[in-house]
Structure formats: structure tokens, C-alpha cells
Amino acid sequence: MDVYRDQLAAFDPDIFSFIAAEERRQSAGIELIPSENYTYPEVLSALGSVLTNKYSEGYPGRRYYGGQENTDAIENVARERACALFRAQHANVQPLSGSPMNQAVYFGLLAPGDTILAMDLSHGGHLTHGAPVSHMGKVFNFVRYKTEPDGSIDYDRVMELAKANRPKLVLAGHSSYPREYDYAAFRRIADAVGARAMADISHLGGLVAANVLANPLDAGFDVVTTTTHKSLRGPRGGLILCSAELAKTIDSAVFPGLQGGPHMNQVAAAAITFKKAMEAQFLSYARQVLANARTLAGALAAGGAQLVTGGTDNHLMVVNTVESFGLDGRQAEETLDRIGVTVNRQIVPDDQRPPLRPSGIRLGTPASTTRGMVEGDMELLAGWMISALQAPEDTAQLADLHKQVSEFCRQFAVPGVEQS
């Protein structure tokens, strides 16, 4: 790989310089965006392999191009490992990312105009769960459930919504909800109205694979989707798990329904990721992600941060920075950027502020845990964050905090990046 790096530096020094700068940024700062992580060096190797040269439209044994003996074997291994890891009857490893992954399920199981019951965006749902600005929100009729003032889900109220609207699909999934789901309750709601049950565990995929969080398939869900990066630490991509009954429907919805040929370098990288997730050290990692999240949430709350739902049961948390520090989410994000801590601005339940200047920030612990940080490090991190958010105009203090963060990060390598 070093020879290719040297070739890139010689041929296109502009792009090379930006890549090198991003390596330095990732190494010198702390990544807290919960959807981001550091992938394995083996995954980077597969993504940069000759598999990127190969078209493989179709499925193993039924391709539309020749020369598929190796790609067929790779995809079969990826599917088998995914099924074993998640205890699924069938796996489709071809979705290019999370959004088309979910779209394929909708188009495979439903007709345009059908009703889907899903979580409201501001209460933790995802754009593909029917946000009005998304195309899916225009194609299908989404009815949205919300959380209660304490952050819990009133499953009786969700049942009432389901009975009043008769959805064809009940969707349990989120992108910013810090609590655990009662999947059995969602299954009962779906059964009560004759609907399919779908779970989007894109954020939780690695934690579910490690069995530190509940697996919706164990509760009898028809379909489960997850991205292969985030807490799984794999390539950017999507994975659909389903019952054997739905295998042909789901496969047809992905190809030829929604996309052409899969990216076989991505499929190979996903296969590597699934093997990694079967190792004992991945279980230790997943447990540490949760321990770090609980510690970080507790330390932030002790420092005056108001957390949506009051804490976390998983890897992420949402802080209402307007209520806590008088800063909107953009101001808080930019302040923390100045000390080398990366988060993302985030809407809070029923947020009245615009999306680019929402009331909060979202943060999580998968990436910091990948680098080897533990509970004591989370307490240090919370202290730095509180100090910065309490004094966003104190340039000297922010500079000192940035120096402390940068020096601290020297202890923790970023996988795949050489330490300078």
C-alpha cells in the first residue's frame, strides 16, 4: 500500500495533502459523532483491492457478467457470516448504504401510498423513516410515534396509533434515541394490525452482533436492517436480514429493483467485518462502548448538561445545549471543534429551532472506544467539553483545552493511520 501512497503523492499532491491532513485531524482529536468509527486496516485493504474493478450484477450463480467465480465465493461467505452473526435466515449484503437499504425494504414489502408507522424524526427517527423532506415521506404514508416527556415510549399509545391507522409496516428504529427498545412490544403491535415488523438497527449493529443489546430477530421481526460501519466498524454499506419467506422478495427489491451491480470491494470488506465481530475481543469492545457511554453521560450531567431522556442505554446521547449552556447546536458543535472534539448538531424532541441551528448536539462512544479509551478517559473528556461550552468566547481557554486534547490523543492510535 505504501507504494500506491507514494504514487498518489507524486501524481496528485493536492488530494494527497487533504488525505494526510484528515489523518492528522483524526489522530489529534476525539471523534464523538456516534455514526462514525475507525474501520479495520484489513477493511481498508479490501476496499482498495482489485475487486473495485469488477461488475457483478445479479446474485451468486445468477450473474449478468462473466468472470464471477471469485466474487460469487466472496458474496456467499459474506451472506453466511452475516446470517451466523445475527442469527438470521437470510442476508442481502449488496445495499450500497443505509438509505437505499431501507428503501429496498419499503418497495419490496409495500406499494406506494401504503402506511408505515415509524418514529418521529425529532424524537430520534431517521430521514428514511418518513421525514417529510425525504422522498420516502412523499411515496409512502408515514404515521409517526413520539416519545413521552421523560423520553420513554408509551407502547399503549403506539398501539392506539397502529389501530387507528392500520399500517402495513411497523418500524422500530432510530438515529438519535438513547434508550433501548422493547422489540416484543413492537411485534405485538404489528401482529395486532396484521403488519410486518421491521427494525432499523443501523446505529446498534455492532452492539446487537455482540449480544450486548437485544436482537429484534429474536423477537420475531420479519426484517432487520443495519449499516455495516458505525458500531460494526466495517465499510460504508448496508445489510438486510430477513426470514427465509421474504428472501426472494428482498433480493429482488435490491436488484434489479433499486440498484445495479454491488460494489464487490465493499462486500468483501463487510465479510471481513462480520468475521471480526465474531471474535472475543469484539465482545469486549462492545461492552466497553456501553460502559464509556454511561460514564460520559453521567459526567456530562454532573457538569450541568441536560441530556434528552436523562441518560443512555446504548452508545449515544443527545444534549440540549440551549437549555444547558445557552448555545444552539451549531454554536456548541463549532465550540467543541475548536478544542478538537467532534460532535454533530442535533434536533431535540419537537424542536422549534431550524435544523442547521437546532437545540442540541449528538455524541457517542464507538470511535473513542476503538482507540482504547475507557471510563476514566470519558470523565476527562466530559470535563473538557463542559469547560469549553461554559466559556465559548474565551479564546485562550479554548486554545489551552485544544492543546490538552491533542496531547491526550497521542496515547491512542487510530487504526490504519501511522503515528507521527
Domain of 198, CATH number, reads 3.40.640.10
pLDDT at res. 3: 72
Of the three residues 277, 311, 346, the one that is the final residue of a domain is: 277
Quick one: cell of 189? 403491535
Q: Is 336 annotated as a binding residue?
A: no
**Do 112 and 249 belong together in one domain?**
yes
Is 379 annotated as ligand-binding? no
The verdict on whether residue 220 carries a ligand-binding annotation is no
110 and 52 in a single domain? The answer is: yes
* pLDDT given for residue 1 in this prediction: 52
Give residue-wise pLDDT tens across range 363-400: 999 999 999 999 999 999 999 999 999 999 999 999 99
Say if residue 149 is in the same domain as residue 270: yes
The answer to whether residue 3 sits within a structural domain is no
Inter-residue contact 125 to 175 (CB < 8 Å): yes
Question: What digits encode the pLDDT tens for the residues 220-254?
Answer: 999 999 999 999 999 999 999 999 999 999 999 99
d(CA 91, CA 100): 15
Please say which residue of 237, 262, 277 terminates a domain: 277
Question: Binding residue per annotation — 174?
Answer: no
For the chain, list residues with pLDDT below 50: none
Cα distances from 262 to residues 25, 201, 340, in angstroms, run 31, 22, 36
- Residue 390's pLDDT is what? 98
383 within 8 A of 295, measured Cβ to Cβ: no
* Domain identity same for 217 and 89: yes
State whether 180 and 329 are in the same domain. Answer: no
Radius of gyration of the chain (CA): 22
Q: In the sheet where 115-119 sits, what is the strand order?
A: 90-92, 238-242, 223-227, 196-200, 169-173, 115-119, 141-145
Q: What pLDDT is recorded for position 391?
A: 97
Tell me: do 113 and 234 sit in the same domain: yes
* Within a domain: 385: yes
Alpha helix (H) ranges present in 29-167?
41-47, 69-86, 98-109, 135-139, 155-165
Domain of residue 298: give its range: 281-409
Q: What is the pLDDT of residue 416?
A: 87
Q: How far is it, in rounded angstroms, from Cα 183 to Cα 102?
A: 18
363 and 379 co-located in one domain = yes
Distance CA 167, CA 141 (A): 9
Q: Which of 345, 281, 348 is nearest to 309 (CA)?
A: 348
| Active-site residue list | 55, 57, 200, 227, 230, 236
pLDDT tens per residue, range 24-40: 999 999 999 999 999 99
Residues 338 and 272 in one domain: no
**Whether residues 376 and 260 fall in one domain:** no
Task: Report if residue 245 sits inside a domain.
Answer: yes
Is residue 204 part of an annotated ligand binding site? no
Is residue 24 domain-resident? no
Q: Give the pLDDT confidence score for residue 376 in this predicted structure.
A: 98
C-alpha cell of 362? 449528538
Q: Distance between alpha carbon 338 and the CA centroid of its chain, in Å?
A: 25
- The reported pLDDT for the residue numbered 59 is 98
Give how far the C-alpha of residue 324 lies from the chain's centroid of Cα atoms, to the nearest Å.
26
